[in-house]
Amino acid sequence: MERYTQFLLKHKKLIIGVFVLAAVLCAVLSGLVGVNYNFADYLPDDAASTRALEVMDEEYSQSVPNMRVLVYEVSIPQALAYKEKIADVDGVEEVNWLDDAVDIYEPLELAEQKTVEDWYKDGNALFSVTVDEKKQDSVIPAVREIIGEENCMSGTAVTSVLAPVNTSVEVQQIMFLAVPIIFLILILTTNSWFEPVLFMITIGVAILINRGTNLMFGTVSFVTNAAGSVLQLAVSMDYSIFLLHRFSENREEGLPVEKAMIEAVKQSVGSILSSGLTTVTGFLALVLMRFKIGPDMGWVMSKAIVLSLVSVLCFLPALAISTYRLIDKTQHRTFVPKFDKFAGLVMKLRIPALALVILILPVSFLGQMKNDFFYGGSQVYSTQATQMGRDMEAIDKMFGSSNPVVLMVPKGDMEKEIAMNEELKKLDCVTSVVSYVNSVGNAIPSSFLPSETVSRLYSAHYSRFVITMEAEEKDPDWYEKVNDIRNIGEKYYGDKSQYAGDLVSTEDLKTTITQDNAKVNFLAIAFVFCILLVNFKSLSLPVILTLVIESSIWINLGIPYFRGQTLFYIGYLIISTVQLGATIDYAILFSDRYMDFRKTLPKKEAAFMTLRTCTISILTSAAVLTLAGVILGKVSTNGVLSQLGILIGRGAALSFVLVIFVLPTLLILFDGVIRRTTLHCDFFRKEKEMAETGKAADKEE
């Protein structure tokens, strides 16, 4: 490492220039990276709903209805006029309304009232619209212009267009709040006004390079795009803190500037790489998920951490040496008090703290296994803080929850279609069925009908049933309602029936990502364990450290259960690996220092000295990650991002508490086991000291 650091310092201007140029170029390229907000696009290619969508694309020009439009206080002729205007918008494939379900030219009193009220209620009309996904950016504002601001629209087409605008604004707000707060934390925990600037520049350059190089993926998920920069900033800030703290310590010992940096890199590279690699492997575990948001976030965030490591180990040494005079000129008194009294208090409370955690842990473990979840994206933007959320609530309040399911069956057997159509209509959860036999009737041959009417329902090989369900994901029995429709289709057509729609995709999501959970968690733990095994050359320390952080994860995920909160499963799945990878650093740093002190001190004194010297570094890192998570959680109106932020922030705080209050006790209790299961373990022992003292006395004689 000495030659490497000498090379960096010799060519420091070139190194700084390369990183700055790369950051500027990638800042421009980041604007070209697409963002995908559609959960269904991240289903595995072999999922049943994915195959059904492919069949529908091949067989029909229309896809699944993806927007609901509510127009207040209109007569039937006015509603038909609105329907025609909406249908004329370029990119609108189909508009369904009351006239597709009943004969509106007969008195509505004679029609089935339940069906009528699903489309037209108290003079208010609800349209079901199918929008071409490729043209929805122009369709949504066009429809809004037709219906006006006072009316409402909701659905995945609306979300896909408006969510990027909202999220972009929110990401700016999050960074605007997070950066000053993180900067303030760094000022309070360092001795120079300029050191925090170095930290922020170093990680800021890594963030810009990461965002620009995301262009290699073409598009990234909304979760990755919105949370990635905040996570990278919060998670990788440790590395620069570790390096500059060592640099400052070496200079205080009287080393020349360049020698101090060379030694700092040598001293900290092990901890930095171990911390970085555990975080990278935590994110890489997500790559093995079948639900594609996992690989999306896994690759992007693994790359982000690697770039942060490169920036800290290449860019920061060159930058710090070039500006060390500014560090010296901007020195200030220490704002944070010494941690001697705190370390003493922790040592006194260590047994009660361990006992408390042992009592809480089984309850938390069981609680986190019984959480309720949202698996799809229907509830992501249900907050009242946005127009999307307000419109969604207004439509649901007036007409109830509604989700379209498209059922496609092989055409040709009219008797089966009639029987299946009648059985579908009898389901309590079904509010309407738009099909050939229901809309046209079996008495009229398809050859006598306009080709446009036939093509909507009949293709070359399939007959299409557009079923409107009174159900949404927040209903406890939504899964059973989807299965009721599936069972009817399979009763008549077996495995030849095809299903598509938001709830059908959500059903596939539930199956896919619950299968991913155990695999991803196991692999994340295994990866981290292997890195700890190599780093510490110990069989026992990896078990102790992993157990401490996993305990904090169980407590973190058990809290929502006891609060009666429903979690988005994708956030639940991601936090398990992110919290492990991001906060295992605290345990690594603590154990590294403990092992160093243990060479010259008894176990209790070693634990005390570790608390005294490490608490400030761990507190800084945990505070940064906690506040970044809380800001993300409070500012974002995206339900997944908001929950993920809160879980990350709370998880960082819990990991800090367990590392500081529980890990020292475990290291003391298992001191003998650690000594016997660790290679080249040279722990201080009184017998050893006495033997060495005796040898020295013999030599003197």
**Pairing of β 498-500 and β 403-410:** antiparallel
User: Which range among 123-137, 312-326, 397-411 shows the weakest confidence by mean pLDDT?
Assistant: 397-411
622 touches 652 (CB < 8 A): yes
Beta strands in 411-530 (DSSP E): 430-434, 462-469, 498-500
Give percent helix, percent strand, percent coil of the chain, each to the nearest 5.
70, 10, 20
* Secondary structure class of 231 (helix, strand, coil): helix
* Secondary structure class of 645 (helix, strand, coil): helix
User: Which range among 126-130, 149-153, 638-642 shows the weakest confidence by mean pLDDT?
Assistant: 638-642
Given a cut of 50, whether residue 461 has pLDDT beyond it is yes
* Secondary structure class of 186 (helix, strand, coil): helix
Average pLDDT over residues 522-530: 85
Task: Dump pLDDT digits (tens) for 237-296.
Answer: 878 887 888 888 888 888 898 899 998 888 888 878 888 888 888 888 888 887 788 889
Residue 103: burial class (beta carbons within 10 Å; 0-12, 13-18, 19+): exposed
Residues whose CB is less than 8 angstroms from the CB of residue 505 and which lie 6 or more positions away in sequence, other chains included? 39, 40, 43, 47, 49, 376
Torsion 568-178-242-269 (CA) sign? positive
Please, what are the domains in the chain? 1-32+162-335 (1.20.1640.10), 67-154 (3.30.70), 337-370+538-701 (1.20.1640.10), 393-506 (3.30.70.1150)
Given a cut of 70, whether residue 220 has pLDDT beyond it is yes
Helices (H), 30-152: 48-59, 76-87, 113-119, 136-147
Average pLDDT, the chain: 84
User: What is the C-alpha to C-alpha distance for residues 406 and 381, in angstroms, rounded to an integer?
Assistant: 24
How far is C-alpha 184 from the geometric centre of its chain's CA atoms? 26
Given a cut of 60, whether residue 690 has pLDDT beyond it is no
HSE-CB at 605 with a 13 A cutoff on CA atoms is 9
Q: 474 or 527, which is more confident? A: 527
What local confidence, expressed as pLDDT, does residue 604 receive? 93
Task: Dump pLDDT digits (tens) for 618-658.
Answer: 888 888 889 888 988 888 887 888 888 899 899 999 999 99
Task: Dump pLDDT digits (tens) for 373-409.
Answer: 887 766 777 666 677 888 888 888 888 777 788 888 9
pLDDT band at 452 (very low <50, low <70, confident <90, very high): low
User: What is the C-alpha to C-alpha distance for residues 181 and 280, in angstroms, rounded to an integer?
Assistant: 26
Residues whose CB is less than 8 angstroms from the CB of residue 50 and which lie 6 or more positions away in sequence, other chains included? 40, 43, 44, 508
User: What is the C-alpha to C-alpha distance for residues 450 and 255, in angstroms, rounded to an integer?
Assistant: 89
Given a cut of 70, whether residue 182 has pLDDT beyond it is yes
What local confidence, expressed as pLDDT, does residue 535 receive? 84
What are the C-alpha distances in Å from 151 to residues 46, 82, 91, 147, 399?
Answer: 39, 12, 20, 6, 14
* Secondary structure class of 543 (helix, strand, coil): helix
* Secondary structure class of 150 (helix, strand, coil): coil
3-state secondary structure 188-240: HHCCECCHHHHHHHHHHHHHHHHHHHHHHHCEEEHHHHHHHHHHHHHHHHHHH
pLDDT band at 441 (very low <50, low <70, confident <90, very high): low
User: What is the C-alpha to C-alpha distance for residues 401 and 558, in angstroms, rounded to an integer?
Assistant: 30
357 touches 664 (CB < 8 A): no
User: What is the C-alpha to C-alpha distance for residues 249 and 608, in angstroms, rounded to an integer?
Assistant: 20
